Amino acid sequence: MSTTFVGMPAFPDAARAATGNAQLRHNLRKATHTIRDKRAAVVDELDDWARLRAAGAAIKDRVLRHLDVYLERLEASVTAAGGTVHWAADAAEANRIVTDLVRATGHDEVVKVKSMATQEIGLNEALGEAGITAYETDLAELIVQLGDDTPSHILVPAIHRNRSEIREIFRTRMAEWGVPAPEGLTDDPRALAEAARVHLREKFLSTKVAISGANFAVADTGTLVVLESEGNGRMCLTLPDTLISVVGIEKVVPTWSDLEVFLQLLPRSSTGERMNPYTSTWTGVTPGDGPREFHLVLLDNGRSATLADTVGRQALRCIRCSACLNICPVYERAGGHAYGSVYPGPIGAILTPQLRGVTSELDASLPYASSLCGACYEVCPVAIDIPEVLVHLRERVVEGKGHRAEKAAMAAAGWVFGDDRRLALAQRAAGAARGLVPRHLPGPGAAWTDTRDIPDIPPESFRDWWRKRHTKEGEQ
Amino acid sequence: MTGSRERVLARVRAALADVPREEAPEDAPVPRGYAREHGLGDPVALLADRLVDYRAVVHRVRPAGLARTVGAALQRRGPGPFVVPPGLPEAWLQRAGVEVVHDDGLGVAELDAAAGVVTGCAVAIAETGTIVLDAGADQGRRAITLVPDYHLCVVPAERIVASVPQALPHLDPLRPLTWISGPSATSDIELDRVEGVHGPRTLEVVIVEDAG
């Protein structure tokens, strides 16, 4: 079972540890630079990219502003096509629904397509407690699962691992889960992919229950859409008798033709390809082709609370492409684990605190895990203004508990700046004491001066200098 | 379960208190100024170029040369058996000279033992190098193009469209669709692209162009 993010330290502590890991920084730098260059090349090919982006944002906004209508429409279409729709208010309920559905089939093994929603709710752990084994089938998810690890990237969850680490994980762990790694396995990516193919083949051909997420759910037709590369998705969506899809309520798009926008935006933004190798779409069940039973679990788990914030709401437009991770200078250095959530990087820094609230130290620190450079907004295919939401969430954190020192400092500053004489006195006092100022601050200021020098305090304030100069000029 | 349905919908409605009651979903504007296609040139050449970029094997033939090209391609893969969907045109396989099995609900073990599969397609998209299967008579159910390790796909030129927006109106969302852009691949190891994971590791495409 993969471990969870529970008990993670706040972002600055986790990031400090991560940035000290030279191997991790090397892996991340190589990977993020490769993928951002590929993305830029295929985005530049389309001269209407800005208009596609505007349309993508507007379609998602339309859905969000009328989400209740579209959810009911989706439910009706899926039901009419032979599927069964379930509603889950939170993670515990979703896990209970899925566990009961798997139990009802009489099987105790499931194959899984990579899905952020099921990671978010900790479905594998919940199934494990119920005696059901979930096999992750995406290569990177397999690496994470076998390595008893947590994902560090939305698209490439094992981006923090290099080929020799992966070889070691396969060599030592595959046998516990099924077909062992071949003798003499090398660290050639081809050989590693072949080992994964052989390891999973028998599971695909024999497992009767599959669990997936979805990239999109079309309200008008009840069609679900999964984009993937390896064919593990097709295996899970086609061969088992029962398919259970856990889908966040924000994944709805209004109509079939709206996919013409997202099927152009998503592959180019995520893998930097003109199109990903495989996209599957299905509507309910089709006799003689694919699963005989289809269940759709609609997941809220903090999304409706996010929707209530008119500034933060735009985070729900996210189509999980991960372009913002690949471009982010903070992500590139700190890596995904420091964010303490299945949603790392800039989008995680605005999504996680909204889905979970800003009550924990970790979640309250996430809106600060950014230099506000704005590169994430530039590359976002649905134009989420991540810096705007970050600043908005910082306000929310400051209004709540935490950051007491900052609050006290700002209150004191307000008092000083609010009165001309108080400011003059404070400045002269600072000027007189300049020789006594240490390089590092004690107490709550310590973290700030860990990474910066305290600016030198000038002997004379600007206001004093101006007054003297003005007086001199007046004398002339 | 009904309880949670009402609970989620009530939360969503409460969250949308700022949306005017009289606003209908279609009132929220969507600018549709994006291109219907990108004018990247001859669709047949573009499709072939994109597929080669994905490391698919591509042939361009006249109708008269189709059977010979299909036959030669299959013979290179060995004696078979090759799975074909029930409605595959007989003429395509006239010069195959290999063992052919018509799919009448073959089990996964039989599909796994097959040397490959031969199908047509519903639509092909030039700009993205994509072939779309819609389970039509010359394509069959999804499993037959998934389990065998080799997929030969015949693409008549008249089924090629330029772009994704042009493809969607030709496709019925109520049918199960598979969009294929090259052989299966992964970039999960250091973002090095490796072709061939769980889906067919070799994709061979024969584009058939009319003499005109």
Check the CA dihedral A247-A251-A252-A253 and report its sign: negative
What are B118's two structure tokens? 């031969």
Whether chain B has a CB inside 8 Å of the CB on A140: the answer is yes
* B64 assigned to some structural domain: yes
Nearest chain B residue (CA) to A155? B188
* B18 assigned to some structural domain: no
Q: For residues A85 and A467, which has the higher predicted lDDT (pLDDT)? A: A85
The fold for domain A11-303 equals: Rossmann fold (3.40.50)
Per-residue confidence band for A475, with pLDDT thresholds at 50, 70 and 90: low
Using alpha carbons only, what angle is made at residue A133 by residues A270 and A100, rounded to the nearest 5 degrees?
95
| Structural domain range at position B150 | 41-208
> What digits encode the pLDDT tens for the residues A244-273?
999 999 999 999 999 999 999 999 999 999
Q: Where are the domains of chain A?
A: 11-303, 412-475
Residue A3 has pLDDT above 60, yes or no: no
pLDDT at res. A428: 81
**Rounded percentage of chain A residues whose pLDDT exceeds 70:** 94
E runs forming strands in B22-145 = 57-61, 82-84, 100-102, 116-119, 123-125, 130-133
Residue B202: give its domain's CATH number. Answer: 3.40.50.10420
Least confident of A152-166, A210-224, A447-461: A447-461
Residues of chain A positioned with their CB less than 8 A from the CB of B33:
48, 51, 54-55
Whether chain B has a CB inside 8 Å of the CB on A311: the answer is no
Q: In what order do the strands lie in the sheet with A133-136?
A: A84-88, A293-299, A242-248, A209-212, A109-112, A133-136
Judged on CB neighbours under 10 Å (0-12, 13-18, 19+), A125 is middle
* B34 assigned to some structural domain: no
pLDDT at res. A458: 82
Q: How many domains does chain B have?
A: 1
Residues of chain B positioned with their CB less than 8 A from the CB of A189:
189-190, 192, 194
Instruction: Pick A193's closest partner by Cβ from B25, B186, B199.
Output: B186
* B4 assigned to some structural domain: no
Q: For residues A386 and A419, which has the higher predicted lDDT (pLDDT)? A: A386
Residues of chain A positioned with their CB less than 8 A from the CB of B175:
283, 286
pLDDT at res. A175: 93
Whether chain B has a CB inside 8 Å of the CB on A218: the answer is yes
Complex prediction ipTM: 0.96
Residues of chain B positioned with their CB less than 8 A from the CB of A261:
34
Q: Output the tens digit of pLDDT for each of chain B's 212 residues.
A: 557 999 999 999 999 999 999 999 999 899 999 999 999 999 999 999 999 999 999 999 999 999 999 999 999 998 889 999 999 999 999 998 899 999 999 999 999 999 999 999 999 999 999 999 999 999 999 999 999 999 999 999 999 999 999 999 999 999 999 999 999 999 888 888 888 899 899 999 999 998 65
| Distance (Å, whole) CA A28 – CA A24 | 6
* B7 assigned to some structural domain: no
* B9 assigned to some structural domain: no
Q: For residues A255 and A449, which has the higher predicted lDDT (pLDDT)? A: A255
E runs forming strands in chain B = 57-61, 82-84, 100-102, 116-119, 123-125, 130-133, 150-156, 160-161, 177-180, 185-186, 194-195, 202-208
Average pLDDT over all residues of chain A: 91
